[in-house]
Structure 1
Amino acid sequence: MRLRFTLLALVAAMTLALGSLVTGCHSAAKPSAVATKHYPIRGVVVELDATNKSVLLKHESIPGFMEAMTMAYRLSDPTVMSELHPGDKITATLVTDQDADGPTNMRLTDIVVIAQARPDYKPTVQYHEPAPGDSVPDFALLNQSDKKISLKQFRGKVLLMTFIYTRCPLADYCPRLSRNFAEIDKSLSTDAGVYGETHLLSISFDPTYDTPKVLRSYGGAYTGRYTQEQFGHWDFAAPTTDEMAKMEQFFGLGVTPGDNGTLQHSLSTLVIGKDGKVVAFYPTNDWTTDEVIAQIRKAATA
């Protein structure tokens, strides 16, 4: 698909027309169990990810669906990647599947560049992308039991770590990660040897709301043991606000405050070896529990 460079006025008219079509779709018959939705979207390209065929887009609000935010979206046609640049203003169609849990499998199509980037455009923040072999710095956290913990204390064990926030409304993001972690935790528990050599850690980047009490309730719900959960193998924790910024930059995690308590964010999941070094880094949500379990088992028995 080739990008079309159009006048802003023409694009505005097309956006209004698409908005009318979307409104018409909403007034149609009730959707089936899994329905496909289309929304017009416009924003500024922040970053391109050729590896994962996605674009980090700072976009305007999508009426009836999503507040203005910065989020990574897959490209339906990855060949357009070569024609996009950070700072480009674009319009596109956001396609998403909708089921009982909410929107999933979001991707962009029909991309139109309406204003090209400045030649001197540079991202305002440079994030470190963890790579295998990187030594992970120590960070202090407060866990679901109101106890201070740190990454350093997990040295000697293989640590599976990810970032979430408990109010995340997107089924494909934090809820999916937590469901995957629950599956991994259950699988590892069947092997006492490996279980004792591993630990799971979900870190909230919303420390103001995600207090120990909130994290305890959230974690217990995902393990399925609720108030009986002892959290011996899986911690839920949050850093201080000051420490959070440092963690975001080291672990390649972009977090931007939105409206009504929402947070726009990227994803960051890691397997960290017993020596405190990165074994594997997953910057998206498309990893499988089987592949991560294999990485954990390999590192635990090394």
Structure 2
Amino acid sequence: MVRRVKPLGHGMSSDDAFRLTRPEGTAGHECCPSSRSWVLRGMRVPRMYSSGAGAWLPLLALGVGWLMGVGCSPSAPTPAGAGKPPAPLPAAVLATNSYPAKGLVRSVDLSHRKVKITHENIPGYMPRMTMDFDVRDASNLAPLKPGDEVTFTVRATADDGWIEGLTVSAPAQAAASPSTNPPPAADRAVADSEPLFPGDPLPSIALTNELVRPVTFQQYRGQVVAFTFFFATCPFPTMCPRMSTNLRDAYRELKAQPSSPTNWHFFSITIDPATDTPEVLKQYAARYQYDPVHWSFLTGPVEDVERLGRHFGLQFFREAGALNHNLRTVVVGADGKVRRILIGNEWKVEELVTEVQSALAGKPVTPP
């Protein structure tokens, strides 16, 4: 992919840039072979001899001039990998994009080096929304408090993202009451929803896939199911794009295993159904080389998606036109019961693959 920011020139090293070859059976410098004949661009020119001392001098002068003009120039460079498709660029040399931003601090998590910020529109990159950002330098977080107005730089590669240069532009009001910034309605509603845990049956829901076909989880009873939530215009690489990349990589691992069971299916469910129509989902799915036999992209009434997500602690809501959300990924056994809930964006592909394999093998649910 990519993904997923930093080119060094089509994967070539300086040693690969040119490949010079020496004529067969020669030694020494490429343009000065040690055989008894001069080698000129693939032509072998015999040396001239004459019994007269001056008879061969003009020929020798002509030959030397020819050699100086073309014989000792390097052979035409051959680009590395000519005739072959270019090697994919290593992730470490793909470009990193930078975007200046500003926003309001909502919470600070020092132990995980994260900060939740409601940021303003970032022109050319991301609309206004509330997000958890990774901060690589923990010292940036120490002076921050909820309510601080900050400026910072968003750094994004094809598969990673973080912020740096956090600066408080206006400190939080010391006397602000808790009611100054009440939680969004969706946050309060989630707390009142009945949570589901491993071993609980998955509730019924009717949605529509990217092929404009109706889908219910009950149709997949007897298959191991995994689903996650996303929206197609979410740009930040560690959020929705990471969920889609993880499902794609898990799909590839499961497909690559010899004699592996095939009764499993992945679902990516949009939290922005007003924008993510089946046609939009189909185009988005194609970016991840999806296979509709094992992976579907679903849309449906936002109330139904919200009700499903709340069972697992998913929160998404619009605030001043921005779509804010967290992340949940759920694995359901062939019996239709929840097996595992993966929280956030830091779970690994291997965790999902292992859980699906355990479910396919009929292993009992591992306690959380």
Alpha-carbon separation, structure 1, partners of 2:213 and 2:163 = 40
Q: Deviations over 1:83-119 (max 9, x none)?
A: 85xxx311345444333x3x83224664654225524
Going from structure 1 to structure 2, the CA distance change for 1:152 and 1:69 (only over 3 Å counts) comes to: same
Q: 1:170 aligns with which of 223, 230, 236?
A: 236
Going from structure 1 to structure 2, the CA distance change for 1:70 and 1:262 (only over 3 Å counts) comes to: closer
Q: Tell me, yes or no, if structure 1 residue 275 matches structure 2 residue 335.
A: yes
Q: State the TM-score, normalized to the length of structure 2.
A: 0.59
The residue aligned with 1:98 is 156
- 1:181-196 to structure 2, matched below 5 A, reads 181-191=247-257, 194-196=260-262
Alpha-carbon separation, structure 2, partners of 1:82 and 1:277 = 45
The residue aligned with 2:63 is none
Instruction: Give the deviation of 1:258 after TM superposition.
Output: 7.3
Alpha-carbon separation, structure 1, partners of 2:338 and 2:139 = 29
Q: Tell me, yes or no, if structure 1 residue 132 matches structure 2 residue 193.
A: no
- 1:39-118 to structure 2, matched below 5 A, reads 39-45=100-106, 54-62=114-122, 65-76=125-136, 77=138, 84=145, 88-99=146-157, 101=158, 104-107=160-163, 110=166, 112=168, 113-116=171-174, 117-118=176-177
Aligned residues: percent identity? 27
Contact 1:90 1:111 (8 Å CA) reproduced: no
Of structures 1 and 2, the one scoring higher in RCO (CA 8 A, sep 6+) is 1
Contact 1:40 1:94 (8 Å CA) reproduced: yes
Instruction: Give the deviation of 1:142 after TM superposition.
Output: 0.5
Match of 2:288, SS state, is helix
Q: 1:179 aligns with which of 245, 248, 251?
A: 245
The residue aligned with 2:276 is 210
Contact 1:53 1:75 (8 Å CA) reproduced: yes
Contact 1:92 1:109 (8 Å CA) reproduced: no
Contact 1:130 1:281 (8 Å CA) reproduced: no
Q: State the TM-score, normalized to the length of structure 1.
A: 0.70
Question: Which AA in structure 2 matches 1:169?
Answer: P
Match of 1:202, SS state, is strand
The residue aligned with 2:316 is 255
Going from structure 1 to structure 2, the CA distance change for 1:64 and 1:79 (only over 3 Å counts) comes to: closer
Q: Tell me, yes or no, if structure 1 residue 233 matches structure 2 residue 289.
A: no
Contact 1:93 1:108 (8 Å CA) reproduced: no
The residue aligned with 1:27 is none
Q: 1:142 aligns with which of 182, 189, 208?
A: 208
The residue aligned with 2:76 is none
Alpha-carbon separation, structure 1, partners of 2:114 and 2:200 = 24
Question: Which AA in structure 1 matches 2:161?
Answer: N
Q: Deviations over 1:235-284 (max 9, x none)?
A: 1111223313323423333334478x974332221222233333222232
Q: Which has the higher helix share?
A: 1
Question: Which AA in structure 2 matches 1:140?
Answer: A
Alpha-carbon separation, structure 2, partners of 1:184 and 1:270 = 14
Which runs of 5 or more structure 2 residues have no equivalent in the other structure?
Answer: 1-92, 364-368
Cα RMSD of the aligned pairs, angstroms, is: 3.5
Contact 2:231 2:272 (8 Å CA) reproduced: yes
Q: Tell me, yes or no, if structure 1 residue 244 matches structure 2 residue 305.
A: yes
Contact 2:135 2:162 (8 Å CA) reproduced: no
Q: How many residues align?
A: 259
Going from structure 1 to structure 2, the CA distance change for 1:80 and 1:246 (only over 3 Å counts) comes to: same
Q: Deviations over 1:126-151 (max 9, x none)?
A: 33676434443222111122221112
Deviates more, 1:214-223 or 1:119-128: 119-128
Which runs of 5 or more structure 1 residues have no equivalent in the other structure?
Answer: 1-31
Q: Deviations over 1:197-250 (max 9, x none)?
A: 3111111122223222332333234226xxxx5x11111111223313323423
